[in-house]
Structure 1
């Protein structure tokens, strides 16, 4: 399971991602859709690198 709870990201004078909460279950496939400039790429980059300024990311890793 991977949980994002009220995570947001900003640079000086600009908010790049408004607070978002989402939960990804293991073994499921998810899609991400939205308008140009809505923050899709920013969210993916944050999930990959996890530099959250507010809120948190939580990953529950399960070995098989």
Structure 2
């Protein structure tokens, strides 16, 4: 059974894509923060600092896997 990911809405945040206010939800999974607009689906992803420093300049993080 997959555990539910808790969404926290960001008060006053405006979506850069559709310009809707109060529709941005923050989730965190495997050390990666994701902000998603529940109105249009726009997503922004940011990894934790320890993940960022492990990534070389020519790479992009798409997920962090912990065995």
TM class by smaller structure: under 0.3
- Highest Rg: 1 or 2? 2
Higher normalized helix content (fraction of residues): 1
| Length-normalised TM-score, structure 2 | 0.27
| Length-normalised TM-score, structure 1 | 0.28
Higher relative contact order (CA 8 A, sep 6+): 1
Higher normalized strand content (fraction of residues): 1
